[in-house]
Structure 1
Amino acid sequence: MSTQTDSKRRGQAFAGAFAGVAIVVVLAVVFFVVRNSDDSDKTSAAAPPPVATQPSAAPAQPTDAAPQPSEAAPQPTAAQVNTPPALSKEPDVKGGTGRLTKLVKTTLVPGTGPAVQKGQTVTANYKLVKYATGEVMDSSWSRGEPFSTQIGVGAVIKGWDEGIVGLKVGSRTQLDVPEALAYPGQGDLRFVVDVLAAK
């Protein structure tokens, strides 16, 4: 009887020890899985976002549709920009008709300054409307100061990179930008851009 009891107790002790080891192994596995998951989350959070194909300085949503200043190109104050008299009033911008298949530039006020070169920082006033409806999406005029950005280097939408290079300082130009050169899902756009400075 004593042998059976001892054998039973040893079996129970062995089973208890085995269960304890199994619990430790399970806890260790869970710990390492959770820890590795936390490390990968930290790594992904710390990694910089991928470079966008669309300009960081340009709108991605209809409520934020205009290019915004970047840290590399600080926005000048109104006192720093010498606005030609012809560009002193906000333009009245209407929509267009049909669909755009290519970028169209229309000079509204000819400029007398140097032509904008790729890589220069341009200071400009602009007004943006939906091409199909004429609904105003954004305007530097409403913020009370011009906007600065580097041109021709992917800091803004392709419509600006392609449309503003070559414009003369002091000009007012209408840029009709097809959706393919703007923001996906926003349709064709019409900008009226006053080039105030380029350097």
Structure 2
Amino acid sequence: MSERVQNRSAGQGPGTKAERRLAAQLAAKKAAEARRRRQSMLGAFVGVLAVAALIGGIVWLNNGDDDTKSTAAAPSASADAPVEPTAAAAPQLPADADPALKTKPTVGAGKGELKKLNVTTLIKGNGPAVKAGQQITTNYVGVFYKDGKEFDSSWGRGEPATFGIGVGQVIPGWDQGLVGVPVGSRVQLDIPGELAYGNDASGGRPAGPLRFVVDVIAAQ
């Protein structure tokens, strides 16, 4: 009897073995729970990365779309940049506008020496007269006065150009020639070099006298 007591006290009895098995089971359970927690955390982290990548892709696509959107332009007053982008949207023609304004005009060369600004009304609109300080929307074609070679056109960009008139945003020939023109009109502007971009052909500017045919679509 004393030997059985001694064996139990030495940790060799059946009760001690059961405790060891229980301890091992508890340890395995804790290890399994730890693995599940790590897997859950890893899954959440991967999910966050996926969402961030998706948002980044959407932002990139939107920026790319913005970069590729076409913009209208008008003859800028800047000597260094004769064509300056604007953010004009193409409006509808006035309800009573001449149907000819839906079609790009054919513009030829001028005759003789151009010494002053000439404004010729090709189609007279029924709208209010353009006032200095207004934002006007136009379609236009620009050619060299001497040979009729086209150098610029809003029709080629697929939308009109909107800009302030009479305030120095465009070349002087436009500022002077378009104020007072009724909305819905098509006018021809024959502009000497000093009222356009000058007579110096350097810098890529359209130098010398120019001819524009301009459709005034809106003014506000």
The TM-score by the shorter chain falls in which range? 0.5 to 0.7
1:130-154: CA deviation from partner (whole Å, max 9, x where unpaired)? 0000000100000010000000000
Matched, 1:81 2:95: no
Matched residue, 2:123:
109
CA contact (8 A) 2:129 2:180 kept: yes
Matched residue, 1:68:
84
Matched residue, 1:140:
154
Distance 1:194 1:59 in 2: 22
Distance 2:127 2:170 in 1: 23
CA contact (8 A) 1:128 1:189 kept: yes
Residues 1:142 and 1:132: Cα distance change in structure 2 (over 3 Å) = same
1:130-179: CA deviation from partner (whole Å, max 9, x where unpaired)? 00000001000000100000000000000000000000100000000000
Structure 2: gaps of 5 or more residues: 1-73, 201-206
Select which of 154, 159, 183 maps to 1:169. 183
CA contact (8 A) 2:138 2:217 kept: yes
Distance 1:56 1:194 in 2: 14
CA contact (8 A) 1:107 1:174 kept: yes
CA contact (8 A) 1:169 1:198 kept: yes
Matched, 1:57 2:57: no
Residues 1:191 and 1:94: Cα distance change in structure 2 (over 3 Å) = same
TM-score (norm 1): 0.64
SS in 2 for 1:68: strand
Matched, 1:155 2:174: no
Q: CA deviation at 1:121?
A: 0.3
Q: Which has the larger radius of gyration?
A: 2
Structure 1: gaps of 5 or more residues: 1-54
Matched residue, 2:54:
none
Distance 1:101 1:153 in 2: 23
Letter in 2 for 1:129: V
Q: Percent identity?
A: 52
Q: CA deviation at 1:60?
A: 4.2
Q: CA deviation at 1:81?
A: 2.8
Distance 2:123 2:173 in 1: 19
Residues 1:122 and 1:69: Cα distance change in structure 2 (over 3 Å) = farther
CA contact (8 A) 1:68 1:147 kept: no
Select which of 139, 142, 146 maps to 1:125. 139
Which has the larger helix fraction? 2
Matched residue, 2:110:
96
Distance 1:138 1:128 in 2: 5
TM-score (norm 2): 0.58
